[in-house]
Structure 1
């Protein structure tokens, strides 16, 4: 094959046809053996013929009983289904919650419901999916598509001066237009795992309910159905995602090192380094060539990228998954349900490409509870709280272990994010206070306790609510006010996790009497 920078195509490893994933697993394994170097076309499902051998030699478990004791609220007895969704296919998503393993010390799922008790994500954290685009009209994804607020829709003008006209919902670098529509299915499938619309009564559940998905199309198919891309498009796509505010970039492809020229690798490394320096977390699959020479694959092999391998419902590694020092962490990646173009949900699929979105989704949840964290810190929280599989400690097959969303969030120092930061009370001519009470809310409740205090005698603060999100109620005691006029006070809010990012926060409170009730139209502000 001919590889070069510029406009010539280079091939990435993707299935030739997603319909192939309906083939039963043993037959898939046989095909993989016969066509080991044929770019593993259709190899997103793999046989578990070697599962018995893997179970004895690679899949030894190290329960997190000691680790669980370190974190408040961590449950070593396995996940309990707490936060539930009304999505009808959630019961098929063993990767998020596996009821058959409830009560086990280590489960095959990522323990999503317990994580959702803490947060379901925030609109401020954006996941860019660099792959084949996404189905922009899928009923389980359309509401989650990122919107470029700096661009005016359909006016034919590059309003934000980024070189892309009307890039409202991302960019298609293959066709060089503003509609990154998925024609192949890979990108849509990944986007669905990371962040499908959730609790909307249809389809599946995504990991990060509220996190926008930024579609960046860089992959297409050649005449024989093989996934191809131009390095120029990959690099431009990474830079586009960074420049437009993506905090997480899911690189859904992999390419063997021998299929990259020195110039291509240098260009990729430079773009990845720029994104890393900008504080972006980069995630990529470790590839499905573990039984075909186990080549080093990029971009997962770059130090700034989290390389993700795939595990099945028995907590065993996908036999064809790549292995080596570039494996950071494992996540479910066998027989998964997600989204496909044209509003479809079937058939299921397997592969390290579909394990990687779990890491992107959990990273978005971590940043939701503490946006002050760096990408390195987010990466470390996922690594350090993973369920150890294989050899004790880090190994080149499972990395640091199986991703555990709940443990990662419980270990994350939660950021106090109160709202609002200003309250205004008005007393009318009849002495009625409006509004009679107001709430100060902290949306991040998991693992974080907080309190509010004031020196203003006329302010009354009632204790923390038992509901989620937690809150305090603020009222005014007029009996302590000697005269009508205008008063200003402050409420100081602080948490039990005092650190640089979690310092005291101030809520300014104004109490004002209607002019008709006062002898003077205006009185000095009195701080009490």
Structure 2
């Protein structure tokens, strides 16, 4: 079923206990804007509770979040006492935009308007595509007739979420006003907690190997909506934040006065209705994708007699096309038919063959391979190489190889390590090269990183708690003294 796989949710709060048994598998990273480091751990507990409601894993432990396979990010703006500054919130919003966060949860706030700079930060990040969800506040009265929605929930660019109890009615403390847009459960919500202590009763309880706690407030209601937004986005990644927001409104269960009102907004958020209204995305048209590469970009006339070609063949969904024989491949060199016999390697969907280049003159050549699968669907890929005299001085840096390995966890498969080897055009390792990559998951989630090559010309990038699925690495830049990067990333793919 739909579990919000890969949708990036940023919890702007007191941090997250990313080692919690219900969160460690979905945690994808973050930033600490209080301590100004990359370790946004939670001491206060509030952020861990919020995170569990949105994304607690569907495992044998504890609770299950609304979107248990989201990509969970911790953006810590509140200190160990639960207090913070608006400047930290602004920094977190900027980070969210830069790192492709799709949904933010904002279970904090103030009754007074923090000013135009904060408003602009929310407005601009929403314009950049982020859907902001926020707690409406806990300043309501028994009659529900005061205007008490807090900031940032009160901003037009933010979805303000009120609370309901198990009877789907408003607790007296849930804030009210025209800014209320949706309602969600917010009374006695059981979720993950960081340790055995809480500044507010009831105190945490320990079961299934970790800490959990019941909490009440619009802080607990807001992440329910953030999770439903992730479910909608997971069905159709082509939707924008305005589309998702409208679906949440249109499918909410009307509570209170008919239509939108000041207590429940458009009504109680409904995961079932929102997902049903989104509907499945039309399947992609049948396709064969061919990523063709040669073992070198430059061959030496008189020395190199063959070019080793690699063709990675996938279908319209990105799955490997395996089991093809040599007759499925047709190869041309600068438009003229040539003989290359491809055979499948131990890696499904990856085929190799040798191209005879012994008779080629100096120049630049394009080799193209067309592949027809058993459905009769065809596709092609090409690679360009040069033939010339031997180099005496290196001028170019290139990616020699990209390798994958896993480590950690019970089965040594929790973390993913990507090794990129950089070589020059004489075949020597390039030490000290700065290498930048984008590591992409088949869910659409991606990570950016930069590292420096060691004496052997390799850089190892590590992705902690890598989720199951398939990964590809794109090298986005190489900077090496005296050398120019050729801009080529070899075909690569790894599934865990």
TM normalised by structure 1 equals 0.52
What's the CA shift for 1:228? 1.7
Residues 231-282 of structure 1, C-alpha deviation per residue, up to 9 Å, x if partnerless? 111111111111111011111212102xx4xxx3212101001111101100
In the alignment, is the contact (CA less than 8 A) between 2:182 and 2:265 conserved in 1?
Answer: yes
Q: Which residue of 1 aligns with 2:123?
A: 273
Task: Report how far residue 345 of structure 1 moved.
Answer: 3.9
Specify every segment of 5 or more residues in structure 1 that has no aligned partner in the other structure, as ranges.
1-116, 147-168, 425-437, 444-457, 459-485, 493-505, 511-528
Q: Report deviation, 1:373.
A: 0.9
The structural deviation recorded for 1:422 is 2.3
Question: How far apart are the structure 2 equivalents of 1:323 and 1:361?
Answer: 22
Aligned residues: 300
1:219 alignment partner, one of 64, 74, 78? 78
Residues 337-356 of structure 1 mapped to structure 2, 5 A cutoff: 337-342=190-195, 344-356=210-222
- Find the partner of 2:18 among 127, 136, 143: 136
Find the counterpart in structure 2 of residue 336 from structure 1.
189
Q: What residue number does 1:177 align with?
A: 37
Q: Residue 469 of structure 2 aligns with which residue?
A: none
The alignment partner of 2:105 has SS state of: strand
Name stretches of at least 5 consecutive residues in structure 2 with no aligned partner: 196-208, 291-313, 320-327, 329-368, 381-496
Do 2:161 and 2:218's aligned partners in 1 also have CA atoms closer than 8 Å?
yes
Q: Which has the higher contact order (CA 8 A, sep 6+)?
A: 1
Per the alignment, residue 120 of structure 1 pairs with 3
Whole-angstrom CA distance in 2 between matches of 1:314 and 1:442: 46
Match of 2:159 among 295, 299, 306: 306
Give, in angstroms, the shift of residue 412 of structure 1: 1.0
Do residues 197 (structure 1) and 57 (structure 2) align? yes
* Structure 1 residues 508 and 283: CA distance shift in structure 2, 3 A: farther
**Greater share of residues in strand:** 2
CA distance in 2 between partners of 1:208 and 1:390 (Å): 27
Of 313-322 and 340-349, deviating more is 340-349
- Partners of 2:30 and 2:370 lie apart in 1 by 49
* CA shift digits 1:22-78 (9 cap, x unpaired): xxxxxxxxxxxxxxxxxxxxxxxxxxxxxxxxxxxxxxxxxxxxxxxxxxxxxxxxx
Query: In structure 2, what is the Cα distance between the partners aligned to 1:409 and 1:346?
Result: 28
Counterpart CA distance in 1 for 2:370 and 2:38 is 53
Q: What is the match of residue 85 of structure 2?
A: 230
**SS of match in other structure, 1:298:** coil
Q: Residues 491 and 319 of structure 1: is their aligned pair in 2 closer, same or farther, counting only changes over 3 Å?
A: farther
Check conservation: 1:417, 1:442, Cα contact below 8 A.
no
Question: What are the residue-to-residue correspondences of 1:404-423 with 2, within 5 Å?
Answer: 404-416=270-282, 418=284, 421-422=287-288
Cα contact 1:423–1:507 (8 A) shared by 2? no
Deviations 1:180-222 (A, max 9, x none): 1111111100110111111x21111111122111101001255
Task: Determine the C-alpha separation between the residues in 2 that align with 1:360 and 1:508.
Answer: 41
Contact 2:43 2:80 in 1 (8 A): no
Mapped to 2, the partners of 1:283 and 1:213 lie a distance apart of 15
Taking a change above 3 Å as real, the CA distance of residues 441 and 245 of structure 1, as seen in their structure-2 partners, is closer
Structure 1 SS opposite 2:180: coil
2:198 aligns to what?
none
